[in-house]
Amino acid sequence: MDAKQWGVYVHIPFCRQKCFYCDFPSFAGRERYWEDYTGALCREIAVRGSYYRQQWGKPATIYLGGGTPSILPEKFMKQLLSELRQIFLPDGKAEEFTVECNPGTVDEPYLAMLRNRGVNRLSFGVQSFDDTLLKRIGRIHNGQQAVDAVAMARRVGFANLSLDLMYGLPGQTLEQLKESVEQALSLKPEHISIYGLQLEEGTAFYRMQELGKLNLPTDDVTEAMYDYMTEYLPSQGYERYEISNFARPGFESRHNMSYWQDVPYLGVGAAAHSYLDGQRWAAFAELDRYMDAIKENRIPVEPEEAATTAIAIEEFCFLALRTAKGISREKFLQKFGREMDVWYGTVLRDLSARKLLVDDGRYVRLTRQGMKYGNLVFEKFLLDAQDF
Ligand code: SF4
């Protein structure tokens, strides 16, 4: 059997409370679902997972995201990890096996349990070390808990940790951000992700903004925050390998890279996305609908609009452009049968002249400016259906 590069994503859609900015598919107050949902995940892994495992061999990466995976009590997490290992990892090991953790939901025995069951990378949603800010955005943890969580993870043997930070938060100053970044660096994580606050419809912050009650930093301050992070982190040894992601050499997230590099992945669980055989699928987001489908041996997914060639090309470019490496011209040619200049010749010349892109003949990548004004570049990569 030919081993194929692919990954597995497992979605845990539970949180202790909903953060005020969050529009991810996650629910608070659904403790009554934990047991049955874990059972449904295990069943889906056993059926769909086994199918792809037989086709493609062992996945290179497994990623438990959410929601808050670490909210699952030990009993259910053990059950899930044992199913994952049994189906996907006959030798007990994955190249990269990540669990997202909320610093407010873990203790040392829990992290040791993850480590002993093959998890080799943790991603902590820290966002800030400033307690007032954390409260203001609806997080359940405080700065000290984040420091303690990292120390515990180190003690039980994790050598690959990622911290998420946010900027552009209500009332946040550049000084506060700098303090949080310094504190993050003092913990020596291998990987840091930074996200600017986005106001998404349906969130508490969106409603507050509509009522004029959200005190956001000005555009100038937000831009200064962005400039500071994107200049300072590389100077401290964290290479920017994707628009929002920085890592020490060799610690780039393999799983996330696969999203941007057109590698297939199987999504397991409610609302999980899959990219298989060139098709993207999204599982039912409603928990009951998802669990009923699993119970009745139905695939819990609905096909997204069949990707036209135009959409497939756009997606390929958008995803690859996010990375420091950029779009591989050769990969583009292999996948779509024609040079990318057929569709993008003028765009490439124009964006290169404006110093937003570099085209070295093998790769087309964003410059630093291009990353900053990514949306401006991405919109140029939209295709006209009439071109096909
Ligand atoms: S912990 Fe994460 S997934 Fe849960 S509500 Fe907060 S941001 Fe959303």
When pLDDT is averaged across residues 350-360 and rounded to a whole number, the result is 95
Q: Extract the tokens encoding 277.
A: 């055989």
- Residue 358 main-chain phi, psi, to 5 deg: -120, 135
**Closest by alpha carbon to 60, among 23, 29, 25, 88?**
88
Quote the pLDDT of residue 386. 63
Probe target for ligand 1 pocket from 19, 123, 163, 195, with the most ligand atoms within 8 Å of CB: 19
Answer for the pair 54, 88: CB distance below 8 angstroms, yes or no.
no
Q: What is the pLDDT of residues 132-169, one digit of tens each?
A: 999 999 999 999 999 999 999 999 999 999 999 999 99
When pLDDT is averaged across residues 208-226 and rounded to a whole number, the result is 96
Answer for the pair 177, 225: CB distance below 8 angstroms, yes or no.
yes
CA–CA gap between residue 356 and residue 90 (Å, rounded): 46
Which residue intervals of the chain bear CATH 1.10.10.920? 309-387
Residue 25 has pLDDT above 50, yes or no: yes
Q: Extract the tokens encoding 95.
A: 């190249």
Question: Helix (H, G, I), strand (E, B), or coil: what is residue 280?
Answer: strand
Confidence of residue 277 (pLDDT cuts 50, 70, 90): confident
Quote the pLDDT of residue 90. 87
Confidence of residue 325 (pLDDT cuts 50, 70, 90): very high
Confidence of residue 255 (pLDDT cuts 50, 70, 90): very high
Least confident interval from 58-67, 193-202, 300-309: 300-309
When pLDDT is averaged across residues 88-108 and rounded to a whole number, the result is 95
When pLDDT is averaged across residues 326-333 and rounded to a whole number, the result is 95
Closest atom, ligand 1, to C-alpha of 139: 6
Q: What is the 3-state secondary structure (H, E, C) of 83-146?
A: HHHHHHCCCCCCCEEEEEECHHHCCHHHHHHHHHCCCCEEEEEEECCCHHHHHHCCCCCCHHHH
Q: Please give the CATH number for the structural domain made up of 309-387.
A: 1.10.10.920
When pLDDT is averaged across residues 101-123 and rounded to a whole number, the result is 97
Q: What is the pLDDT of residues 334-348, one digit of tens each?
A: 999 999 999 999 999
Quote the pLDDT of residue 307. 63
Q: Which helix (H) or strand (E) holds 37?
A: helix 34-44
- Nearest C-alpha to atom 6 of ligand 1 is from which residue? 19
- Nearest C-alpha to atom 5 of ligand 1 is from which residue? 18
Residue 360: other Cβ atoms inside 10 A:
9
Residues with CB under 6 A from ligand 1: 15, 18-19, 22, 24, 26, 66-68, 102, 125
Cis peptide before 67 (omega within 30 of 0): yes
Instruction: Say which CATH topology domain 7-260 has.
Output: pyruvate-formate lyase- activating enzyme (3.80.30)
Q: Extract the tokens encoding 133.
A: 């800010």
Which residue intervals of the chain bear CATH 3.80.30.20? 7-260
CA–CA gap between residue 188 and residue 7 (Å, rounded): 27
Percent of the chain predicted with pLDDT > 70:
97
Answer for the pair 297, 310: CB distance below 8 angstroms, yes or no.
no
Residue 308 has pLDDT above 90, yes or no: no
Residue 386: other Cβ atoms inside 10 A:
6
When pLDDT is averaged across residues 263-290 and rounded to a whole number, the result is 93
Probe target for ligand 1 pocket from 12, 24, 136, 200, with the most ligand atoms within 8 Å of CB: 24
Residues sharing a CB contact under 8 Å with residue 178, sequence separation 6 or more, in sequence order:
228
Confidence of residue 384 (pLDDT cuts 50, 70, 90): confident
- Nearest C-alpha to atom 2 of ligand 1 is from which residue? 67
Closest atom, ligand 1, to C-alpha of 23: 8
CA–CA gap between residue 382 and residue 237 (Å, rounded): 35
Coarse DSSP helix, strand, coil percentages of the chain, rounded to the nearest 5 percent: 45, 20, 35
